[in-house]
Structure 1
Amino acid sequence: MELELRHLRTIRAIADAGSLTRAATDLGLAQPALSAQLKRIERALGGELFERGRHGVRATALGELVLERSRIVLPAVTELQQEAARFARTSRATACLRLGGTHGPLLGAVVDRLADVTPDARVTTCTSWSERELAGLLTEGRLDFALAGTCGSAPPPGAEGLVWQEVAVDPVFVMVPEGHALARPGEVELTELAGEEWACVPGDGCFGDCFTAACARAGFTPHRMYETDTSSLVHLVQVGRAVGLCRATFPNTPGIITRPLTGTPLTWRHLLGWHRVTQRAQTAATVLAQARLAHEGVAARSDSYAEWRAAQPVP
């Protein structure tokens, strides 16, 4: 009999259970059947793997050796199976690019550009407020690429095998209604907004903590913060309920003025992620280049951002 992976799993189950009776129950087998299977495995390996006693079983020296090796082999095989499944799903979807992203204008702009450079590919999208969820979908092979972001220099969503490349870094602007006292040209001091209520879109990064820290440095504690979807955020700003926080690429919107904050106390880093095993380097390079060009287009369409960029000193 040749040793198979299922035999290693049986040995691990017996060791974990501590007795043949409990292991048989866990494996859904009758105890005599498990005992017979163990004897066949032991004959194949050349010796006893467990000592039987009144209180259960204990691994022999040979058993310890086999268990030690199984702790390496079984996870490695599981990882191989997962990577193969991801690769197979990607190979079946060569005519389709599956993009994920947080809500915002950049995702649509990337789809638009990819439609030009890959006219034969079908492009689908998935949106989420959670960067960690997007990272998980990449890891599982359910997305090909994801547009996510981090606050300032915070690290990207962590998951083994993922590659994250920077698309661009934007300042965070504030949104005020047209009739607001600060709806004037130029930058706004954060301290001028100390008495306001605030609104932003949700997320699972550190943006909320970074905003609170920026306010503390400016000498105040922010009042109520509304975390809500983009449409509701726009409404709260338009009716004067709150001042909104947004990426500088936020598009021109009737009834709303976006303004930069003096000293740029908050920034947002746009990232493109993919899994290194399932994506070809050429495909990743193409999507990354189009994401960067898409960002430039989105930034140029925001009047306030274009004005701010024009006023910055040439590096």
Structure 2
Amino acid sequence: MELELRHLRTIRAIADAGSLTKAATALGLAQPALSAQLKRIERSLGGTLFERGRSGVRATPLGELVLDRTRVVLPAVHELQEEAVRFARSGAGCGPRTTFRLGGTHGPPLGGLVDRLAAAEPGVAVVTHTSWSEREIAASAAEGRLDYALIGACGESAPPESGRLAWAEVARDPVFVTLAADHPLAPRPESELAELAAEAWTDVPGDGCFADCFAAACVRAGFTPACVYETDTASCVHLVQVGRAVGLCRATFPETPGMVTRPLSGAPLVWRHLLGWHPEAPAALRAADVVGHVRAAHADASARSSSYTRWLADRSRVLHNAVEGANR
């Protein structure tokens, strides 16, 4: 693993907070996720950075060395970024836009956005970068390496880099479950989460709070997941198709042969699609157009999902009946 600026920010946050728990809260991460990230950073640097104790954490000699360099590097990079943004904002040396630089986590909206931008502006190249890490994508947009960050956030959780990026909510979807086509619950229009208590689960990784929100929803349903396989999208689909696990997906996720998507009763988990950009970068001038393209791409993906279309129609009917009943 190569050391990145986000790793230096993580090290500084831990030192400033004095404990992994407080640092995780400040960074918007689950404590186990931060501990795992710190271990990867320590392996990359060749030694332990912090000693853990009952009173918190204390930097080791290697940790002090890294922190000394971090206190120099991060302010210098921040100053460079601000100067670059001001330069770009002023229009100095800038000609017509030749590239859209998009970053996103995996899912239908990113492909739909690429398609719409390519169709709307055929003379402009579209460059993409994908990652399972929402924090990495957001940091790249904040640091000027990407024009737009297309990510998701669980429930009402704040997106990463909230202090440096402007965010627009593109859409809000329930989280669905993926089942093998021959699963006993597949013929049902929806399932209770508790009915899946004995299943193994599969999902793509992420560094937001979704794993914690899923675990909490399971506890409310009366069980703890026995096994969760975190892997890439193609492997998740395979594990579901062969009956090894059931999966979690966005409602717009396309069904494939041997697999169906179904809503969970009561929509215990919600996923928000977000588009972020630096408010002082040239990308801000086109943000409204890009948001419109993403919303249209999401609508297209929703229309292609028969299970989501049925869920939306059922919800609309329930709301309509509730309004009619209140007006009587």
TM over 0.5: yes
TM-score, normalising length: structure 2: 0.70
Which of the residues 99, 102, 105 maps onto 1:96?
Answer: 99
CA contact (8 A) 2:134 2:151 kept: yes
Which residue matches 2:286?
283
For the structure 1 residues 194 and 75, does the alpha-carbon distance in structure 2 shift closer, same or farther, using more than 3 Å as the test?
A: closer
1:134-213 alignment, distance < 5 Å: 134-213=137-216
Paired with 1:229 and 1:210, the residues of 2 have a C-alpha distance of 20
Pick which of 266-275 and 77-86 moved more.
Answer: 77-86
Instruction: Give 1:75 shift.
Output: 10
Which of the residues 82, 85, 89 maps onto 1:83?
Answer: 85
For the structure 1 residues 221 and 89, does the alpha-carbon distance in structure 2 shift closer, same or farther, using more than 3 Å as the test?
A: farther
CA contact (8 A) 1:90 1:141 kept: no
Say if 2:226 is the partner of 1:223: yes
For the structure 1 residues 244 and 93, does the alpha-carbon distance in structure 2 shift closer, same or farther, using more than 3 Å as the test?
A: farther
Q: Given residue 178 of structure 2, which amino acid in structure 1 is its aligned partner?
A: M
Q: Given residue 222 of structure 2, which amino acid in structure 1 is its aligned partner?
A: G
For residues 177-202 of structure 1, the C-alpha deviation after alignment (integer angstroms, 9 at most, x for no partner) is 01110001311001100000000000
Q: Give the count of matched residue pairs.
A: 243
Which of the residues 72, 97, 114 maps onto 2:117?
Answer: 114
CA contact (8 A) 2:277 2:283 kept: no
Paired with 1:90 and 1:144, the residues of 2 have a C-alpha distance of 17
Instruction: Give 1:161 shift.
Output: 2.6
Paired with 1:94 and 1:161, the residues of 2 have a C-alpha distance of 23
CA contact (8 A) 2:105 2:131 kept: yes
Paired with 2:93 and 2:302, the residues of 1 have a C-alpha distance of 32
For residues 21-67 of structure 1, the C-alpha deviation after alignment (integer angstroms, 9 at most, x for no partner) is xxxxxxxxxxxxxxxxxxxxxxxxxxxxxxxxxxxxxxxxxxxxxxx
Instruction: Give 1:143 shift.
Output: 0.5
Paired with 1:76 and 1:223, the residues of 2 have a C-alpha distance of 44
Q: Given residue 305 of structure 2, which amino acid in structure 1 is its aligned partner?
A: S
Instruction: Give 1:79 shift.
Output: 5.9
CA contact (8 A) 2:86 2:280 kept: no
CA contact (8 A) 1:145 1:273 kept: yes
Identity of aligned residues (%): 55
Instruction: Give 1:109 shift.
Output: 0.5
Paired with 1:76 and 1:272, the residues of 2 have a C-alpha distance of 22
**Structure 1 portions without partners, runs of 5+:** 1-73
Instruction: Give 1:82 shift.
Output: 4.1
Which residue matches 1:241?
244
Pick which of 261-270 and 278-287 moved more.
Answer: 278-287
Secondary structure at the aligned position of 1:312 is classed as: helix
Which residue matches 1:37?
none
Which residue matches 2:67?
none
For the structure 1 residues 86 and 213, does the alpha-carbon distance in structure 2 shift closer, same or farther, using more than 3 Å as the test?
A: farther
**Structure 2 portions without partners, runs of 5+:** 1-75, 321-328
Q: Given residue 206 of structure 1, which amino acid in structure 2 is its aligned partner?
A: C
1:264-279 alignment, distance < 5 Å: 264-279=267-282
Pick which of 177-186 and 152-161 moved more.
Answer: 152-161
Instruction: Give 1:165 shift.
Output: 0.3
Instruction: Give 1:244 shift.
Output: 0.4
